[in-house]
A = this chain, B = another copy of it.
Amino acid sequence: MSLYHPRREDLEIGTVLQALSDPHRLRAVRRLADADEPCACGSFEIDVAKSTLTHHFRVLREAGVIRQELVGTSKLNSLRREDLDGRFPGLLDAVLAASGTPAVSA
């Protein structure tokens, strides 16, 4: 079984922004941005049902934000930083910086 990943040149800004607009997905992306190596889905401390988390990772993968690799029965996730930076310079850094800036009223 192989997982679909869009090619770098096919990444679309609207789809990427949509993928990043969900707070749980953004939290997962922040976690991956801080990680030194690919992370198993189960290692994310995100308080949603497992099926919901699976959905979020699929949205991120299909948008081209992350890469998912099947290793045994696990999926290992990593951020497609080079592809994102190459295609949309500055976007990921701006989003990661912004996501550390909660609204005052939040």
Interface residues of A (CB under 8 A from B): 9-15, 17-18, 20-23, 26, 87-91, 93-95, 97-99, 101, 103-106
Contacts and interface: CB of A to CB of B under 8 A. Distances in A.
B21 A103 contact: no
Stoichiometry, as copies per complex, reads 2
B103 A10 contact: yes
A104 B23 CA distance: 29
Contact of A91 (B10, B18, B98, B104): B98
Contacts of A91: 91, 94-95, 98
B9 A104 contact: yes
B93 A90 contact: yes
A28 to B, nearest CB: 13
